[in-house]
Structure 1
Amino acid sequence: MEQHVRKILIGFAVTLTLILLAALIVPSFIDWNRFKAEIESQARLATGRELTIGGDISFSVLPAPTLAVADVALANIPGASET
C-alpha cells in the first residue's frame, strides 16, 4: 500500500513539474504580434477610440511576468484637444 501511494505522489510531482516547465517555456515560442489586429479591434470596441500598435508585442514569464508593447498610440475622442 505504501509503495502504491509513493508511486502516485511521484507521478503527481512529475506531472506538476512538466506543467510548470511548459508554462515557463511555451510563451517564448508564441508570436504575440499576430494578436495586434485583434487587440486593436477590441480596444476600439471597448473605448470607441482608435488604438494603434506600431511596435512589437512581447511576453515573458521570467524573471517576472512582463508584457511589453512598443509604439502604442490611443486616439483622442472626437472634439478633444490635440495637447
Structure 2
Amino acid sequence: MNFEVTHVSRGDIRLKSEDKHVRVLGEALVALAPNEPGYVIYLNSLNKWEVPPNVTLTETEKRDVVSAIRKHFQDCGSVIEFE
C-alpha cells in the first residue's frame, strides 16, 4: 500500500492511501545536533484507520505507514525515532 504524508504537526502525523486515512501520534523535538531526532513516533498509537472508522490496520499496513514516515523525514533531512 502506498502512503503519502499529508500533514505533520507537533503532536501527530496524518497519512493517506487512496480513500483511507490514518493518524499516528508523535512529538516534535528540538534537535540540538544534526544526528539527534527531530520527531518521535509513538507506535502504540498506530492501530486503527481514521477513515474508514474503527477498522484495524494489518501488520503490513503498519509497516507501510512506518516506511512512508521514515521516507518523508529522510527526504526532509530530519532524523526520526520510533518508540
The alignment's TM-score, normalised by the length of structure 1, stands at 0.29
Where relative contact order (Cα < 8 A, 6+ residues apart) is larger, the structure is 2
Structure with the higher fraction of residues in strand conformation: 2
Structure having the higher Rg: 1
The alignment's TM-score, normalised by the length of structure 2, stands at 0.29
Structure with the higher fraction of residues in helix conformation: 1
